[in-house]
Amino acid sequence: MGWVILDRSEEADAQMIIYNSDGSRAEMCGSALRCVSKLVSEHLSRTSLKIKTDSGIKAASILPSEGIIQVNLGSAKLLRQDMEVSPLCGDLLDIGNPHFVVWMEDLEANPQLQYGAYLEHHSAFKAPVNAHFARVISDREIEMKIWEHACGATLACGTGAACTVYSGIRKGLLEDEVLVRVPGG
């Protein structure tokens, strides 16, 4: 859980500022960006927007007839592939905030609860990370469990889903369009 502040911006249609539950400031949140985009769209009566975030200006499009809110999170960057953080191995990625993605055969044991806090503040990372544990269902569908920095286990993470899919594509596990199943739906 966190706190999202919507403010004016001279550079964009609005500015989104996010505080985590521990009071630290978050660089980005894909889910919050979608919510903020909907509110700003209704307020400005526009369907194409630019929202300033701590990780840069993001574009959003609202498709009211389809009930769709699209946001461009930017491109994920692979910082380190197959990084050993004993006893796990994963990919370190950035999409405005850092994510560590671990691919597993089974998620039934809730690895986010076992390893999330351990990975979040591990000395192997320059800054705290969001930790994601993913399982391939097919080359077009994955299951993902989430541990977010300063929040703990969460039901969804838009930037984490984007990084996890990117990691899976880079590893040859996934196609370009993927359904991501998270605890929140």
Answer yes or no: do 67 and 81 share one domain. no
Q: Report the domain count for the chain.
A: 2
**Confidence (pLDDT) at 5:** 96
If you average pLDDT over residues 126-153, what whole number do you get? 97
**Confidence (pLDDT) at 76:** 96
Answer yes or no: do 171 and 88 share one domain. yes
29, 35, 89, 151: which is the annotated catalytic residue? 29
Q: Which domain holds residue 150?
A: 77-181
Average pLDDT, the chain: 96
Answer yes or no: do 13 and 39 share one domain. yes
Answer yes or no: do 97 and 173 share one domain. yes
Answer yes or no: do 92 and 177 share one domain. yes
Answer yes or no: do 87 and 165 share one domain. yes
Alpha helices, H only, the chain: 30-44, 111-120, 158-170
Confidence of residue 18 (pLDDT cuts 50, 70, 90): very high
- 89 is known as an active-site residue: no
35, 89, 157, 163: which is the annotated catalytic residue? 157
pLDDT for 1 beyond 80: no
Last residue of a domain, one of 52, 71, 90: 71
pTM over 0.75: yes
If you average pLDDT over residues 38-42, what whole number do you get? 96
Answer yes or no: do 98 and 65 share one domain. no
Report the distance separating Cα 3 and Cα 25, nearest Å.
Answer: 9
Tokens at 67, concatenated: 């009930």
